[in-house]
Amino acid sequence: MHRLFKPLGTRGGCDFPESFPQGTLAGGLFQVAVMGVIAHSCPVTMPSDRTATKDESLTVAAVARRLGVAPATLRTWDRRYGLGPSGHTQGEHRRYNSMDLARLTLMRKLVIAGMSPSQAADQALKLEDENISKANFVELLPQEFEVREELVDSLMRAAQAMDRTFVFELLESEIRNNGVIKAWSEVIVPCLMLIGDEWAVTGSGIEVEHMFSEIIKNILQTNLKPTKDPRNSRPVLLACIGEETHSLALFALQVALSEMNVEAHFLGARTPLEAIVATVKRSAPPAIFLWAQLERHGDVTLLADIPSIRPTPRIVLGGPGWFRDGVAIPSSTPSKLKVVHVEDLPKAVSEIMYAIGD
């Protein structure tokens, strides 16, 4: 069966292959344009649970557990690249000290990011400072990593390896440097589509989907800017219609709007129609954004139940669930609400800005 992800060595044990294929995404699924760079100015911290205390002395098994690699991989890295234990001997076995662990942590992250093991080992061996939290490993990444496609590729590898921390760090750095709209459209959406396709084709990887979704939700929520003197006097309403549980796009929209100082009532996943109706009556939102991912939730006839109020709110529909063959989205509802359908995050933002009169 055609796999959409590149294999990442043995899953679970994470026994990395000697060289990772560099460059394009498998199957040429995405032609993510060569645009934007990961700005290299912000330090990315290493996870504290992966660093050793100063006087720590670890067995090969303990280091393997901490890094999520097989002990055999550590032995190979020792033999081939000299990244072995330099600590004192206990019985017959030498132990890894904190500096060894710091180097190996860097080695692993660079390999996951797509660097060849020998290049990664060169960089890891140069690591002098025992304080691993100061190591800006993103700076050490190869030039090609500046291409968006490479970032998507790296995120996929990290996600497949269930390296939560690395996925988190890459996405955080991306959002910090390029903002939510660019990060969402150019990096996160391609990743989500790859993850979804992997599940559709192989029926596996649901744990990756869940982990990735939780990280995105978490990062987006952290990036939510508190609105001070918002542009809109009445908050816009954002909701996933009915039983719709796919809510990530709604989170992205909420953050994008907060960056524009637009206040929103965020009702989130699975918002029943009654809750939408009640919010419309209570706060008269200038725009109502409704997300439907799955077709079974994007039922345009529901819109007729949204009460007619003054001033008339603009209904903005987003998500593939609203499209289906042969069904046209009406431009107004029986209650005369104006309806528009938007295809991407920037358009959703601009329709909402228009509705609030900006």
* Shortest distance, position 351 Cβ to ligand B12, whole Å: 9
- Give 22 or 331: the residue with its C-beta nearer to ligand B12: 331
- Give 146 or 197: the residue with its C-beta nearer to ligand B12: 197
- Give 286 or 318: the residue with its C-beta nearer to ligand B12: 318
* Shortest distance, position 122 Cβ to ligand B12, whole Å: 36
Determine the size of the site formed for ligand B12 (CB under 6 A). 29
- Give 105 or 160: the residue with its C-beta nearer to ligand B12: 160
* Shortest distance, position 245 Cβ to ligand B12, whole Å: 4
53 exposure class (CB count in 10 Å sphere: 0-12, 13-18, 19+): exposed
Which residues ranging from 245 to 264 are in contact with ligand B12 (CB under 6 A)?
245-249, 252-253
In the bound state, the residue with its beta carbon closest to ligand B12 is 196
Near ligand B12 by CB under 6 A: residue from 81, 168, 199, 323? 199
Asked if 197 interacts with ligand B12 (CB under 6 A), we say: yes
- Alpha carbon distance 104, 245 (integer Å): 39
Asked if 209 interacts with ligand B12 (CB under 6 A), we say: yes
Asked if 271 interacts with ligand B12 (CB under 6 A), we say: no
Asked if 33 interacts with ligand B12 (CB under 6 A), we say: no
Asked if 348 interacts with ligand B12 (CB under 6 A), we say: yes
Near ligand B12 by CB under 6 A: residue from 211, 294, 329, 353? 294
Footprint of ligand B12 (CB under 6 A): 189, 192-193, 195-197, 199-200, 206, 209-210, 213, 245-249, 252-253, 293-294, 318-320, 342-345, 348
